[in-house]
Amino acid sequence: MLYKPRFFVNAEGLMQQRKTAKVPARFVLYFLSCSGFLVSFMMRNDINIALVAMTAKNSTQLTEILQTNENTTLSPALASEVVGGVAAQHFGTKQVFGWSQFATALGSLCIPFAADLHYGIVVVIRCIQGFASGLTWPAMYAVVSYWIPLAERSRFMSSFQGFSIGIGLTYVICGFIIDNFNWRYAFFTTGSLGMFWCFLWYMLAYNTPQEHPRITVEELEYIEMNIGVEVKESMGMKVPWKCIFTSLPVWAIGITTFGRIWIHYVFIVYGPSFMTNILKFPFQANGFLSGMPFICSYLSSVVFCCIADKMVLKEVMSLTNIRKLFTAFSQIVPGILIFSIGYINNIVVLLIIWFVAVTYITASYAGAMANIVDIAPNLAGPVLAFCQTIHMSASFLSPLAGGFIVTSEASIEEWRILFGTSSIITIATYSVYQIYGTATIQKWNYLPTSNTNSSDENNILNKKDTEDIPVEV
């Protein structure tokens, strides 16, 4: 069993300590992670809404940005995934995540001025933002293995879902600002939030518990008792890229998450268009209905992750099967529901199904996304970088396929083809994870001199793995 100190995490994920103790450092890290992804995605998505207003007076130049915006953001982000993983391994999460956020925030503040000069400058800024934002995910994954014991891992992963709140808030806040003020203030707002977050990050974040000057003795003892020695010594560890490239469990995570990202971007990119052209919602109602499921999906991720952690502690099933179960929730359920959307005439029922589908996608943070740290706690950043290079390609392939399929946005038949295709891709990619997914720590995760039985975590991770059976879904 895991060692428990005088404080622990309850079902709601709130950490209990003695009244005289300070706020747990892990709680602060959770807040910084959640708010960091929130602000990051606000800065990524502000231009998606602002472009409508920007092109009203600069149609010739800025329409070009509208057509290339997705590529100018996503292509550099894909290119920076491996860079982020390696950089975090050598320089630490604090530097990599902090500087990437600073560069993105500075870019948002500069876009209004760049738009007055030349649209090409806006494109360059978006490329820089895309590269910088691509560093964030592998950087944050790298810190999880140092700070978060297995029994809390799923719940901490829910902090990554802060990006959903960011997407939802962008629809609401930027839409309000543009309607009542000027599109420029949308960028000033998101950029300023990014700068303020950077200040908090540099004041409060640390790469390891041992570096933290304000962590309590009890909390430090708890972390060190439940984090393996090999994890503590992994900073600067050489990345075994060949082993990562040829690992079936790693490919299983990357492929299944490709399907999840595919369907997620159908909701993000084409949701507003479907609601406008098929459901005939006005702009403000469209923004609210498009954004609210993403805001609420953070809450659903916390629920899924709390349930997963309790299942781990109570040993309801092996960790491998827990990860497969929640991955199935995140892909099988939305895959079935999105197929049905094109055939439902009742708007209330359709919106309920839409809402449920978006919220169930977040179960992946208790499934395949948490699985990255399970199989390679020492190399979570580089493994995430490799997996994300695979699955983030869906974030531009999905919109491209949608544009090819839906040529007439008023045609329900074409929407049915899009939804049906997305359903097949999402469910088919999950089947790969069902076959090859595992939570067993991989041999290449360890330093050559590491003791592979040095922590309770390793024992739990490997317990019953030889008895794993496919999860019935």
More confident residue, 357 or 85: 357
| pLDDT score recorded for residue 420 | 94
What CA–CA distance (Å, rounded) separates 79 from 341? Answer: 35
Q: What is d(CA 296, CA 293) in angstroms, rounded to the nearest whole number?
A: 5
Q: What is the pLDDT of residue 73?
A: 55
Q: What pLDDT score does 1 carry?
A: 41
> What are the residues whose beta carbons fall under 8 Å from the beta carbon of 303, sequence distance 6 or more?
none
d(CA 267, CA 132) in angstroms, rounded, equals 25
Q: How far apart are CA 65 and CA 42, in angstroms?
A: 18
Q: Which tops the pLDDT comparison, 93 or 232? A: 93
pLDDT category at 199 given cuts 50, 70, 90 is very high
What mean pLDDT do residues 395-415 have?
85
Would you say residue 463 has pLDDT above 60? no
Please give the residue that has the higher pLDDT: either 397 or 466.
397
- The overall average pLDDT reported for the chain is 80
Scanning the structure block, which residue is given the tokens 């406008």? 276
Report the alpha-carbon distance of residue 370 to residue 373 in Å, rounded: 6
Task: Please compute, for residue 214, the number of CA atoms within 13 A of its CA located in the half-sphere on the CB side.
Answer: 13
The total of other beta-carbon atoms located within 10 Å of residue 27's CB is 16
What confidence score (pLDDT) does residue 17 get? 40
| Ramachandran angles phi, psi of 9, nearest 5° | -110, 130
Domains and CATH numbers, the chain: 22-217 (1.20.1250.20), 237-445 (1.20.1250.20)
* CA neighbor of 47 nearest in space, from 104, 100, 101: 104
- Pairwise CA distance, residues 264 & 360, whole Å: 11
Residue closest to 319 by CA, chosen among 377, 405, 241:
377
Model confidence at 247, pLDDT cuts 50, 70, 90, reads very high
Distance of CA 15 to the CA centre of its chain: 23
DSSP string for residues in 243-312: HHHT-HHHHHHHHHHHHHHHHHHHHHHHHHHHHHHTS---HHHHHHHHHHHHHHHHHHHHHHHHHHHHHH
Least confident of 150-159, 252-261, 304-313: 150-159
pLDDT in tens, 299-355: 888 899 889 989 988 888 999 999 999 999 999 999 999 999 888 888 888 888 888
Give the lowest-confidence range in 12-16, 163-167, 184-188.
12-16
Amino acid at 177: I
354: three-class secondary structure by DSSP? helix
In this structure, the number of other CB atoms found within 10 A of the CB of residue 472 comes to: 7
Confirm if 185 and 34 have CB atoms less than 8 A apart.
no
Query: In this predicted structure, which of 18-27, 163-172, 452-461 has the lowest mean pLDDT?
Result: 452-461
Of 389 and 249, which is predicted with more confidence?
249
pLDDT in tens, 269-308: 777 677 767 776 655 555 566 667 767 777 888 899 889 9
- For residue 428, give the H/E element and its range: helix 412-436
Cα angle 269, 272, 275; round to 5? 135
Q: What is the pLDDT of residue 255?
A: 95
Average pLDDT over residues 49-66: 59
What are the pLDDT digits (tens) for 105-135? Answer: 999 999 999 888 887 888 888 888 888 887 8
d(CA 99, CA 92): 11
Question: Is a pLDDT exceeding 80 seen at residue 259?
Answer: yes
CB 42 within 8 A of CB 169: yes
Neighbours of 185 (CB within 10 A): 16
9: confidence class by pLDDT, cuts 50, 70, 90: very low
> What average pLDDT does range 49-57 have in this prediction?
68
Residues 6 or more apart from 200 whose CB is under 8 A from it? 32, 35
The more confident residue out of 8 and 228 is 228
Q: Is the dihedral of CA 190, 77, 431, 381 positive or negative?
A: negative
SS3 assignment, position 216 = coil
Inter-residue contact 205 to 92 (CB < 8 Å) = no
Written as six digits, the tokens of 329 are 């929730």
CB under 8 Å to 338, separation ≥6 — which residues? 263, 266, 267, 357, 419, 422, 423, 426
Burial class (CB in 10 A: 0-12, 13-18, 19+), 216: buried
* Residue 315, token pair as written in the block: 């040993």
